[in-house]
Structure 1
Amino acid sequence: MALSRLRPARGAALTALAVCAALAPAANASAEPVQSGAPRIHDVQGTTRTSPYAGETVADLPGVVTAVNAFGSARGFWFQDPEPDRDPRTSEALFVFTGSRTPDVRPGDDVRVTGTVSEYRPGGSDSGNQTITQLADAEWTVRSSGNEVPAAVELDERSVPRTLAPGRGGDLSDRTLAPKRYALDFWAAHEHMVLAVHDARVVGATDDYNALWVTTEPRRNAAERGGTVYGSYRDANTGRLKVESLIPFSERPFPEADVGDELAGRTEGPLYYSQYGGYLLKATELGRHVDNGLRRETTAEQRDWELSVATYNVENLSPRNGQAKFDRLAAGIVDDLRSPDIVSLEEIQDSSGPADDGTTAADETLDRLVAAIKDAGGPAYQWREIAPQDKADGGQPGGNIRNAFLFDPERTTFVDAPGGDATTPVAVTEDADGRAALSVSPGRIEPRDEAWTDSRKPLVGQFEFEGRDVFVVTNHFNSKGGDEPLHGVNQPPRRSSEEQRHAQAELVRAFTDELTAVDRDANVLVVGDLNDFWFSETLETLTGRRGLHNPMTELPRDERYGYVYDGNAQSLDHMLVGRALADRVDYDIVHVNAEFHDQVSDHDPQVVRFRPLSGDNRTDRQEDRRYHRGR
């Protein structure tokens, strides 16, 4: 619900009594007693997420100011009752919302606050987010200053329950909190209270908005490089906690931290809630940043007889980006990916970028990237793509993002078959030798099917490497936008976007089945941003029932990620191969972006190296032996 209109706060000025108390030499000056039977903060917070006083005015709530939010459009202060009850379900703190006005209070002020109890839902009533219990239209009186701030709740690896929420909870708003059983209940029961973490490991790098993620459970699902791996819908890694700072940046710049770094010592502040990540610590004390030296990876170089294929989501690349982005992407492709023979690109925008001017061609975007790669010492790549219909493929409005191929003509040949356009479907055919071929190359898979409404269409290309045909399908499936958040009020969260991805996966699977029906040993790859996890139904549709092979599943669980979201290291990008290639591929997720605060894209690229099958069983068996010896 919308917040009430803010009235001027009479309590912003100290009363004469408060001035005298502030000047008195004794700190912790006692205030007047609260009237017997009058509500306290824990009464207002109640034992559920929704206050029993919602919409009502409460008067003279006592507490001590713990922190002030002095910037932004949601300014205000937190205050906490120093005399808590014994009920672990009730929070002892509230936030007083003052809009764009900075309140004239300081930590340690003993206050009496009168205001309207509001349940504010960040993101709007349909967002699925939790509500924040707070006071609006507030007036307050400072009774004394210099008082001791209530002690923080100390968080360690045993504090937060490992179960996120009831498995069949539905809307949790009015459900009685069980903070010892469920993580979301634990956080809700401590809403606005002062919490502290110690020597916290960073599991989500500093973002563009000066926030990072830490974990209170450093040993739980620990990633190989310091993060926390999301490997199951049943395990949300409940110890993750977002950290922002209330300390002015002029006094303490926010740390530029990478995954695996540490906030050494104590990080402390009130617990708040945001639509961007859920519960977060608004730090009044920030631990010392320890750089643990995370380094970007470089993949192995392909051998002469291996074909190297990469996939890379380059995050809305267009000529509107500065040259620095093109140069960094180019250097990564040349140095970190070792100049793959084929590069599948996702999120290539048209030549005018996000300008909604009817442009659909992306030649300027691709030419500029190719030139930057050559300047970085890489191959003189050529490219292939199909321009979408204007505003038909989703993504950033006006950007017309699409998938595209780069290929090194010195190493591989693109087999062009003219006729492909935004609406013409590609079909599997047979050539004169009975081998699989494409009706158009490049081509799009069923582009008029409703499964691709407002979504990127897969681009299929036929390549030739040393006389062997290779088919690459590059994808960017429907995004997770619209799914309810892990931290939301509805549990388990509804993943409404899955329905479209499942339909998209069915179409791609049908296409690859057609290829392998013509040639059981076809060299086929399905790569790109599938926007779903290795354990999801989307991936099962593509790989189940003797379908494609996912080499990610052969990695240790602590290495199955290439994207970090809300402190969870997860898998959205994939490189699936025909089952006949399962024992031939050398697969690598190249960590150069997702774990770093200075990323050029939010996705890590991936590479497979393999010797394509020749179609001759004897030759392939001999090469298999040679290939395994070489690896």
Structure 2
Amino acid sequence: MQRHHFRTGLALAATASLAAGLGAAPAMAAPDGSGLVINEAYLSGGSANAVFTNKFIELYNPTDAPVSLDGWSLQYRSAGGTAAASAAVELRGTVPANGYFLVSGGSNGDNGSPLPPADLATSFNPGGTSGTLYLADTGTRLTLPTGSVAGAAEVVDLLGYGSSNTYEGTAALSPAGNADPRSFNRTGAVDTDNNRADFTLSGSVTPTAAGGTGAGPDPDPGPEPEPEPAVERSIAEIQGDGGSTPLAGQRITTRGVVTAAYPTGGYDGYYLQTPGTGGDEAPAASHGVFVHSPATVGDVRVGDHVEVTGTAGEYYGLTQLSVPAGGASVLTEPAEAVKPLAVDWPVDDAGRERFEGMLWDPQGSWTVADNYALNNYGELGLAYGESSLVEGQTALLQPTDVAPAGSSRAAAVAAENGERRVVLDDGSSVDYLGSDANKDVPLPYVAPGSPVRVGASADFIGNVVLDYRFGAWRFQPLARLTGANAAADQPAAFEDTRTPAPSDVGGNVKLASFNVLNYFPTTGEQLAGCTYYTDRDGEPVTVRGGCAARGAADAENLERQEAKIVAAIDGLGADVVTLEEIENSAAFGQDRDAALATLTAALNERSPGTWDYVRSPRAVPADEDVIRTAFIYRSDAVRPIDESVILDDPAFSNARQPLAQTFMRVGGNNATKFVAIVNHFKSKGSPPRDGSGNDDLGDGQGAWNAARVDQAEALVAFAEEMKDYGNTDKVFLTGDFNSYSAEDPMRVLYAAGYVNQGAKTGKHSYLFGGLVGSLDHILASPAADAVVTGRDVWNINAVEPIALEYSRFNYNVVDLYEASPYRASDHDPVIVGLQLDKHPPGKGRGARP
């Protein structure tokens, strides 16, 4: 169904764009309609579900004189930006009197149809869900204050949307992600200096150029034609037995029982189901349908028997009826109750289409597979059953953590993920990181003391409706769900899988690896130029950019971050912890180890006299990243032997250089020595796009795979040197390798004889895209593997909702922060136990040589 927006009282200019330099009307935006306005902004061009391939900005001139755009610009600043506009494009041309001007922009991908001919083609590429877009009567990039800036000098019109800190009045509500195909539409060209009031999100995307070309309304539509007579059809006939309704565009009258209703939250409609249907039947066509009807949704209740008349259609994959005011009536005649479906989860789209819109009682076992978007869109990813390819795995798996890229087994894992996945939604399209009002709504599903962790079982305690939105199959609760009504309406309960400590790994020395999520004692407030991610009160929480710091915005937020990291390291119970993503303090003119010393001091505040850190060697690379690798250790358990060593190799020019240290057990001898080498390979993002092996080749290994292979090869050679340096053949390679377990760089290490300890646990250290896998590893040389007594991945971070992270403090009205180990980072720590004896078996006194 097309959700049309109407430009009330406006007429399109009948002529093409007028030449530049003609008479100009007043430029400033004004509530009285005396100035140019941003009339429509479509910012998801090219994304999944996109209507058009390119983004666009449509300007409208409500005056009776043309307006020249020469010397003007369209500018964009990110949602949390405080500096000058991050992007600007020069405008040229003229907006006709009472007419439009279409500016085409960049694209997020290849989806959608081409735009109609634009008046000006640009590469302008604003963010899709949050940001500040403004029309300026200058080509200079403007630096605007934050908050409401209505009437700002040189700003003709401004649209702040989503979580933007800059807006007119109040920021406009944002789309539910880049896959949301709706555009920002101004109502009737009215400019009240309040973005929330002036703009609505509409599925009717109508780019209109100066000559009236495009998808805009007819310049003179004339009287509305009389509607075609409605025909009576059953819901199953509306649905049909294919992927879309066979009755598209027809006016239909049908009856059904209301199974779910969403008068608030953006869905603006309700579900109807044929009376008496459901249970364990498997119909050829669904007996449920969504009724999109903002005008009547407030008049119906779950359980009502309702007759509706509306137009059948598809809304981006969801079959629905569009019902206008007066098109629904609650019937007094009784109807047989609807029965929730009690059938197995269908493994493909065709099977799910047969149940689209129907009431469900999900059968079988379900596992939380993804919680990343919980604090953003109030949704959870679920996985049905257990993997048939990897024994004992109930979450969804990164294919290249299971099998080599390009293999048939990796392809089978990817296919199975699609078969098992569904989204558990909240009955709304609300962005909880969007407007201030949204942030004041308690998040659904998650609450203090009640985490929703990936890998936990999800037990359905209520019914849901199956629908298709934003490119995914979804279970919807029967009413919009928030934290305020969770006790009554939440359809699922979740197992608490937290553990207070990792499993016992044995041994007399324990070695761990931990990525500490940009631990920076140098905070943003200590530097110039920093921009910030802010909380719901506009207070800085973490550094966004503009300076070299990457962590907390100020001392208060650093304290929150540090408290969680200290609790996690202390609870880990390791004797040696190799660290990644800790500040390289030399980048700020301090001693290279200053941040490391600060963290060690914080640990000793909790456990006095326990911890020390490995000092930097005298020889350090001339060019290093602002983050580094490091070691901390319990001084009563081990002691460093000789100086640490940094591998300064060209292979690591775009990564963090490996750091090696030899340790000996306290009270031990040379037989108790081992070498640990901590690593942080090149990340998978930001491909060079140069056609090299470092581009993202689409095989699941991400960008920079060739660079990581080179780094693995250099590490193998370095480890051989360290065996001689440390006078031991027990070598451990630890850290964040930015490579899943079966990817090419890891295979280089396996080929050299190193054994992946974490892979033996069946657990994973990372979550990305709703799939679990391990980027964090401890690998052991054959001699080192022989002394390993146990291993574990302590799932305290990756599986926890990001809403609990220090970086999301006060993002929602409910305080979810606690000074606990949980969500101290985005990576889980890995730990192994080592049995290091003075006289290994066969090597004691009197033993044969």
**Smaller-chain TM-score range?**
0.5 to 0.7
Matched residue SS, 1:297 = coil
| CA–CA distance in structure 2, aligned partners of residues 138 and 196 of structure 1 | 31
- Structure 1 residue 461, shift from structure 2 partner: 0.7
- Structure 1 residue 338, shift from structure 2 partner: 1.5
| CA–CA distance in structure 2, aligned partners of residues 579 and 542 of structure 1 | 12
2:474 is aligned, of 280, 305, 308, to 280
Structure 1's 297 and 366: CA in aligned 2 closer, same or farther, altered over 3 A? same
| CA–CA distance in structure 2, aligned partners of residues 625 and 192 of structure 1 | 76
| CA contact 1:75–1:98 (8 Å) conserved in 2 | yes
Q: Find out whether 1:144 has 2:330 as its counterpart.
A: yes
The structure with the larger Rg is 2
Structure 1's 280 and 403: CA in aligned 2 closer, same or farther, altered over 3 A? farther
One-letter amino acid matched to 1:463: Q
Matched residue SS, 2:611 = coil
| CA contact 1:273–1:279 (8 Å) conserved in 2 | yes
Q: Find out whether 1:187 has 2:352 as its counterpart.
A: yes
| CA–CA distance in structure 2, aligned partners of residues 329 and 499 of structure 1 | 29
Structure 2 counterparts to residues 223-622 of structure 1, below 5 A: 228=395, 230=397, 233=410, 234-235=412-413, 236=416, 238-246=419-427, 256-258=450-452, 266-273=461-468, 278-284=472-478, 285-287=489-491, 289=493, 294-300=498-504, 306=509, 308-317=510-519, 318-320=551-553, 321-335=557-571, 337-346=572-581, 348=582, 366=596, 368-377=598-607, 378-381=610-613, 402-408=627-633, 410=635, 411-413=638-640, 441=646, 443=648, 446-448=651-653, 452=654, 457-466=655-664, 470-479=675-684, 495=698, 498-500=701-703, 502-515=705-718, 523-537=730-744, 539-543=746-750, 545-555=751-761, 559-563=762-766, 569-586=772-789, 587-596=791-800, 599-600=822-823, 601-610=825-834, 622=842
| CA–CA distance in structure 2, aligned partners of residues 314 and 569 of structure 1 | 19
1:117 match: 313
| CA contact 1:479–1:531 (8 Å) conserved in 2 | yes
| CA–CA distance in structure 1, aligned partners of residues 236 and 785 of structure 2 | 59
Structure 1's 140 and 40: CA in aligned 2 closer, same or farther, altered over 3 A? farther
Structure 1's 579 and 152: CA in aligned 2 closer, same or farther, altered over 3 A? same
**Residue range with higher mean Cα deviation, 245-254 or 93-102:** 245-254
Structure possessing the higher relative contact order (Cα contacts under 8 Å, 6 or more residues apart): 1
- Structure 1 residue 330, shift from structure 2 partner: 0.7
One-letter amino acid matched to 1:405: A
1:196 match: 361
One-letter amino acid matched to 2:600: V
2:345 match: 160
**CA deviation digits over 1:80-136, x for unaligned, max 9?**
34487998564443434568997543323414242473443xxxxxxxxxx444556
| CA–CA distance in structure 2, aligned partners of residues 388 and 196 of structure 1 | 62
**CA deviation digits over 1:262-291, x for unaligned, max 9?**
665632111234559x43311225457475
| CA contact 1:112–1:141 (8 Å) conserved in 2 | yes
- Structure 1 residue 577, shift from structure 2 partner: 2.6
Structure 1's 367 and 152: CA in aligned 2 closer, same or farther, altered over 3 A? farther
1:24 match: none
1:23 match: none
- Structure 1 residue 293, shift from structure 2 partner: 6.6
1:65 match: 258
- Structure 1 residue 60, shift from structure 2 partner: 3.7
**CA deviation digits over 1:588-613, x for unaligned, max 9?**
22233344555323432101344789
One-letter amino acid matched to 2:747: E
One-letter amino acid matched to 1:327: A
2:217 match: none
| CA contact 2:600–2:632 (8 Å) conserved in 1 | no
Instruction: Return the TM-score normalized by structure 1.
Output: 0.62
Structure 1's 405 and 516: CA in aligned 2 closer, same or farther, altered over 3 A? closer
One-letter amino acid matched to 2:302: P
| CA–CA distance in structure 1, aligned partners of residues 443 and 255 of structure 2 | 31
Structure 1's 577 and 624: CA in aligned 2 closer, same or farther, altered over 3 A? farther
Matched residue SS, 2:361 = strand
Structure 1's 414 and 117: CA in aligned 2 closer, same or farther, altered over 3 A? farther
1:127 match: none
- Structure 1 residue 535, shift from structure 2 partner: 3.9
2:272 match: 79
- Structure 1 residue 375, shift from structure 2 partner: 1.8
Structure 2: runs of 5+ lacking an equivalent: 1-50, 52-180, 189-227, 403-408, 431-440, 479-488, 520-550, 665-669, 688-696, 805-821
Structure 1: runs of 5+ lacking an equivalent: 9-33, 121-130, 162-181, 352-357, 394-399, 418-437, 483-493, 627-631
1:175 match: none
Matched residue SS, 2:424 = strand
| CA contact 1:154–1:195 (8 Å) conserved in 2 | yes
| CA–CA distance in structure 1, aligned partners of residues 844 and 798 of structure 2 | 34
| CA–CA distance in structure 1, aligned partners of residues 301 and 714 of structure 2 | 65
| CA contact 1:403–1:476 (8 Å) conserved in 2 | no
Structure 1's 591 and 540: CA in aligned 2 closer, same or farther, altered over 3 A? same
| CA–CA distance in structure 1, aligned partners of residues 424 and 251 of structure 2 | 31
| CA contact 1:589–1:607 (8 Å) conserved in 2 | yes
| CA contact 1:65–1:149 (8 Å) conserved in 2 | no
Matched residue SS, 1:154 = coil
Matched residue SS, 1:328 = helix
One-letter amino acid matched to 1:343: T
| CA–CA distance in structure 2, aligned partners of residues 45 and 365 of structure 1 | 62
**CA deviation digits over 1:167-217, x for unaligned, max 9?**
xxxxxxxxxxxxxxx434433443332211268555358643554455543
| CA contact 1:113–1:139 (8 Å) conserved in 2 | no
Instruction: Return the TM-score normalized by structure 2.
Output: 0.48
| CA–CA distance in structure 1, aligned partners of residues 277 and 589 of structure 2 | 62
Structure 1's 409 and 606: CA in aligned 2 closer, same or farther, altered over 3 A? closer
One-letter amino acid matched to 1:380: D
Root mean square deviation of aligned Cα: 5.1
Structure 1's 444 and 84: CA in aligned 2 closer, same or farther, altered over 3 A? farther
| CA–CA distance in structure 2, aligned partners of residues 579 and 73 of structure 1 | 59
One-letter amino acid matched to 1:67: A
| CA contact 1:194–1:270 (8 Å) conserved in 2 | yes
| CA–CA distance in structure 1, aligned partners of residues 597 and 469 of structure 2 | 41
| CA–CA distance in structure 2, aligned partners of residues 541 and 135 of structure 1 | 57
| CA contact 2:460–2:493 (8 Å) conserved in 1 | no
- Structure 1 residue 42, shift from structure 2 partner: 4.3
| CA–CA distance in structure 2, aligned partners of residues 563 and 481 of structure 1 | 19
Matched residue SS, 1:464 = strand
One-letter amino acid matched to 1:183: D
One-letter amino acid matched to 2:736: D
| CA–CA distance in structure 2, aligned partners of residues 562 and 273 of structure 1 | 31
| CA contact 1:64–1:150 (8 Å) conserved in 2 | yes
2:302 is aligned, of 107, 112, 120, to 107
